[in-house]
Amino acid sequence: MSMKIPKSLRISPAWAPYVLLSPFVTLFFIFGLFPLGFSLYLAFHSWEPASGLASMSFVGLRNFEFALRDPWFWKSMGNTTWLALAAGVPQHLIAIPLAVFIQAGFKRFRNIVVGVYFMPYITSTVAIAILFSSLFSTDYGLINQALHGLSHIPVLRFLVPVGPIDWLGRPQYVKPAIAVIVFWRYVGFNVVLYLAALQTIPKDLYEAATMDGASSLQQFWNITLPSIRPMMYFAVTLSVIGGLQLFDEAFILTGGHGGPDQAGLTTALYLYREAFDFDDFGGASAMSWVLFAFVALLTWLTNIAFRPRNRSA
């Protein structure tokens, strides 16, 4: 027995798409477009949140002038760029050959190996930061213990420090510690991306290259890399955007203050402090739009770097 919907509740076929899309559109406007537009509006205003919306006053470009002259902002931009390069570039240099190795060497257990590498990506950032805080411990951390062991090898004696390193207490070691965590967390994600791209390459190409006498290195250089170039563009773009918005790892490892001499102060972390520690929401909004322009510029440069070349020219 079928249940009939009253005629008054029936939706006209012409309106059905709009009704079905309305929940998403409504949520997108509330949680997507409205915060975006409000932050742009705030960037031109001075506002004390505790005093209500009535305390908002128009200041023109003053917040942008403050952002561009703020030495802490530029230091955070430098830290963020350093971390994006130090953590992002090795991810791809290792993820590509690692994906090729997994593709060729793990036929039966490939999914298990990929799952192991992907595990850090789905693990809580807080849990990862706590784990690495223990590993980076000055007195009992495993990393210092490993370095101490390596210092007894004659060849490495001049490269590895003998004494324990205060990773999170000395400015020169804070950024490398954060970069290691970011690299460890996202290299598996990039391996999955490149593995998906490798499975789209026809095996006939490799068979023909083998019959022509091409070595494995030549096949990797002339077949594999050009074939996964679109995925490289996608993965590098994600790394650029994610690296310049780095927040969680730096916030937890440095206690939310950027660490000694602000060495771990990323731009996203400084925006947070500007808004919630210094109560300058207008300045934080202006800095966020400057950061957005920087991200857009690097994304555009990435697009140019990976743009298909005209071989006939």
**DSSP element (H, E) containing 141:** none
Share of the chain above pLDDT 90, in %: 49
Cβ contact 252:129 at 8 Å: yes
DSSP class of 162: S
Residues 6+ away with beta carbon under 8 Å from 70:
283, 287
Cβ contact 153:57 at 8 Å: no
Lowest mean pLDDT, pick from 2-6, 64-68, 256-260, 286-290? 2-6
Largest CA distance in the chain: 87
Quick one: pLDDT at residue 313? 45
Instruction: Tell me the pTM.
Output: 0.84
Report pLDDT digits (tens) over 108-158: 788 888 888 888 888 888 888 788 888 888 877 888 888 888 777 777 777
Quick one: pLDDT at residue 6? 73
Residues 6+ away with beta carbon under 8 Å from 84:
239, 240, 243, 244, 246
* Number of helices followed by number of strands (H, E) in the chain: 15, 2
Quick one: pLDDT at residue 290? 95
Quick one: pLDDT at residue 310? 64
> What residues form DSSP beta bridges with 58?
45
Give the amino acid at 120. P
Report pLDDT digits (tens) over 168-183: 888 888 999 999 999 9
Helices (H), 30-124: 34-42, 62-69, 71-105, 110-122
Report pLDDT digits (tens) over 99-120: 999 888 887 788 888 888 888 8
Lowest mean pLDDT, pick from 22-36, 194-208, 222-236, 249-263? 249-263
Least Cα distance to 269 among 211, 259, 103 occurs for 259
Question: How far apart are alpha carbons 206 and 19 in whole angstroms?
Answer: 51
Least Cα distance to 81 among 145, 175, 194 occurs for 175
Report pLDDT digits (tens) over 213-223: 888 889 999 99
Report pLDDT digits (tens) over 15-66: 888 888 999 999 999 999 999 999 999 999 998 887 777 888 899 899 999 9
By the 10 Å C-beta count (0-12 exposed, 13-18 middle, 19+ buried), 286 is classed as buried
> What residues form DSSP beta bridges with 45?
58
| Other CB atoms within 10 Å distance of the CB of residue 283 | 25
Question: How far apart are alpha carbons 304 and 300 in whole angstroms?
Answer: 6
Q: Is 281 helix (H, G, I), strand (E, B) or coil?
A: helix
**DSSP element (H, E) containing 48:** none
Question: How far apart are alpha carbons 89 and 106 in whole angstroms?
Answer: 25
Question: How far apart are alpha carbons 167 and 135 in whole angstroms?
Answer: 10
